Amino acid sequence: MVKVLIAGDKFVTNNVLRESLAALTPAPTIVEAESNFPLDPLADIGDVHEAVGDEDELIAALQGVEVCISHTMPFTARVFANAPDLKLVVIGRGGPVNVNLEAATSAGVVVTNTPGRNANATTEHTVAMILAAVRQIAQRHSELARGDWRGDYYQFDQVGPELHGSTVGVIGYGAVGSRVAAIMGAFGSRVLVFDPYFSGELPDGMHLIGDLDELLRLSNVVTIHARATAENERMIGAREIALMPENSILVNCARGSLVDFDAMCDALDSGHLYAGALDVFPFEPLPADHRILNTPRLTVTPHLGGASKEAARIAARIGAEDIQRWLDGKTPTHVVNPEVLQSR
């Protein structure tokens, strides 16, 4: 009988994972471990990133285990070296950065992920952040809650634009970017898309722009949905923000490494940007005195874009489907280190 380790956390919980595995056949033996994410923030552990958990505890839990489904546990080279029975690791997130893929491949362990598991949640959060930035909802709420009714915000030079008729630039046209683009189009926005990896056709009314600078020059609202790589670190810096029209809006609910935050704050302080919104930051959590938290017209949330009950359940369901394929002797659908299959 196959032994499966459920290693969830406080978001993708063990209960959610257990429910997703209930229909597996043949029924495996289930053992459990748990990390303290998100109460403990994501961090670099050993040779992996954005992880939470203890390597030694994970190694102990993996003894005799062939399959593990997890979300944030640190699957380092040391873990793979000390888990001789492990054959399959399923990570309930789009980017399995908490797994040393080279070490997994060397150990003959198949690694899968759950792409798109939080696409709807992140899309909804991004659209909410765009609206909050345009309408300055959080700022006006805070003032009104203090008893400060500011009628001067209705003056022409204080109000923001409408999305209807605005040009919205979408950087990255993947699972999230494509959904955001569709919703912006439904608002009546002219939608421009920049994605050097996209080669398909866009829906009617959307325009693929081959040059990022051109998209920035034309867009009243820019929203970022690229996956972070070494090549696109700080892809939006002072030069790029200066290309954006006066009183434009910049939103980042993707990854903190994609934006030069000092440049963004400078542009908000100077008034070049009308507003901004951030769900991701240069490091997390932010200290209470960080500049970002004291910049006017900047709406912030603590990296909650992908947080929904449905996202956790989708991750568990996709992971369970790949485990079932593995139990059936088939190749899992979402293998991220396919080279390991060549040696099987």
SS3 of 250, please? Answer: strand
Measure CA of the first residue to CA of the last residue in the chain; give whole Å: 20
pLDDT above 90: residue 36: yes
Same-domain pairing of 60 and 156: no
| pLDDT score of 343 | 64
User: Do 192 and 176 fall within a single domain?
Assistant: yes
DSSP reduced 3-state for 205: coil
* pLDDT recorded at residue 228: 86
Instruction: Calculate helix-pair angle for 309-327, 14-21, nearest 10 degrees.
Output: 40
| CB distance 253 to 228 below 8 Å | no
What percent of the chain has pLDDT above 90? 92
Choosing from 179, 225, 255, 334, which is the catalytic residue? 255
Instruction: Give tens-digit pLDDT for 244-285.
Output: 999 999 999 999 999 999 999 999 999 999 999 999 999 889
Clarify whether residues 187 and 63 are in a common domain.
no
pLDDT band at 340 (very low <50, low <70, confident <90, very high): very high
Catalytic residue among 284, 290, 325, 344: 284
Instruction: List CB contacts of 104: < 8 A, sequence separation 6 or more.
Output: 75, 80, 89, 110, 111, 337, 340
Based on the residue annotation, tell me whether 284 is a catalytic residue of this protein: yes
**Is residue 208 domain-shared with residue 190, that is, in the same domain?**
yes
Please give the average per-residue pLDDT across 167-196, as a whole number: 97
Residue pLDDT, tens place only, 210-233? 999 999 999 999 999 998 888 999
Report whether pLDDT(344) > 70.
no
Same domain, 98 and 123: no
Tell me: do 137 and 206 sit in the same domain: yes
Domain that holds residue 154: 119-300
pLDDT digits (tens, 9 = 90+) for 183-212: 999 999 999 999 999 988 999 999 999 999
The per-residue pLDDT for range 51-99, each reduced to its tens digit, is 999 999 999 999 999 999 999 999 999 999 999 999 999 999 988 999 9
Mean pLDDT of 150-158: 89
pLDDT digits (tens, 9 = 90+) for 119-149: 999 999 999 999 999 999 999 999 999 999 9
Structure tokens given for 43: 């961090």
Given the residues 303, 317, 321, 325, the one annotated as active site: 303
Per residue in 290-332, pLDDT tens? 999 999 999 999 999 999 999 999 999 999 999 999 999 999 9
Asked if residue 283 and residue 319 are part of one domain, the reply reads no
Q: Provide the number of structural domains found in the chain.
A: 2
| Helical spans, DSSP H, in the chain | 14-21, 55-61, 77-81, 101-106, 119-135, 137-145, 175-186, 212-218, 238-243, 261-270, 309-327
Residue 267 shares a structural domain with residue 337: no
**Same-domain check for residues 57 and 203:** no
Percent share of the chain, pLDDT over 70: 99
CATH number, domain with residue 260: 3.40.50.720
pLDDT, tens only, 61-71? 999 999 999 99
For helices 119-135 and 137-145, give the axis angle rounded to 10 degrees: 60
Query: What is the pLDDT, as a whole number, of residue 157?
Result: 87
